[in-house]
Amino acid sequence: MPHPRPRPRPRRLQHIQGIGVDQMGNLTDASDRDYLRLENLDVDIPPDPVAVAYAEQALHQDDCNSYLPFTGQAHLRDVAAKHVSQLSGVGYSGERNCVIAAGGLSGILNVLLATIEEGDEVIMTDPIYRGLINRVLLAGGVPKFVPLIFQPGGEWKLDRDALRSAITDRTTAMLLMSPSMPTGACFDQDDWDLVSELCVSKDLLLILDSAMERLVFDNLPIVHPASLPGMRSERSPWDPRPRN
């Protein structure tokens, strides 16, 4: 029987780069040194006993062991919608405005697949989490990078002039993260005012990765873009991903 010939990677995967988290994890696992592990948001704090007990209980419940409903259980959708409503001051409905995904990044990929055409440009900051770039590429989008500028002794700040000039006729969406990985950059009121102005005037979708929304220090205010004019859910899918 002939050996199968090596197959090239599909074209849609040829520009996808791994983020290297697994490699760094393997290196530290093999070491006898005591590292502070930051590569995968792992901590040495055990899960909340209440969450563990609820998960064990759910294993025995028939309605928690089903493919249905495809959009997520109604109670969970209501809780997620309430969470975003509290942050933004805008009323959201679990039934109308919320879909549960198997993880925040899976949800972001689903949104990209559902909203952008092949070749559409998606505005992103640079630096940004590589996993977000890969998902834009998988969906057939073209990342369009806007720099975050580091101010020595200060913070990373959005280059607003570059954001204005980055938008073209092919731009469909912005995929932003605030606080952002890996820089920790937080958009301020002026940043969000510009983002909302451009989204409304250019008819752009805003996809917000909020994974780090609670990890804010120095009393920095967090502005939720849904609170700004024209930025309700019809324009902006949120990834609330509440973290304890």
pLDDT computed for residue 103 by the predictor? 87
Quote the pLDDT of residue 176: 97
pLDDT score at 35:
79
What does the block give as tokens for 229? 């004019």
Low-confidence stretches of the chain (pLDDT beneath 50):
240, 242-244
CATH number of the domain within which 129 lies:
3.40.640.10
- Which secondary structure element, helix H or strand E, spans residue 114, and what is its range? helix 104-115
pLDDT of 239: 56
> Domains in the chain: how many in total?
1
Residue 157 covered by a domain: yes
Going from the C-alpha of 54 to that of each of 79, 143, 176, the distances in angstroms are: 16, 40, 33
Q: How far apart are CA 100 and CA 17, in angstroms?
A: 27
- The range of the structural domain enclosing residue 201 comes to 101-239
Separation CA 154–CA 117 (nearest Å): 38
pLDDT at 244: 35
Q: How far is CA 9 from CA 6, 13, 14, 16, 96, in A?
A: 10, 6, 6, 10, 39
Q: Indicate whether 142 belongs to any domain.
A: yes
> In this structure, is residue 225 part of a structural domain?
yes
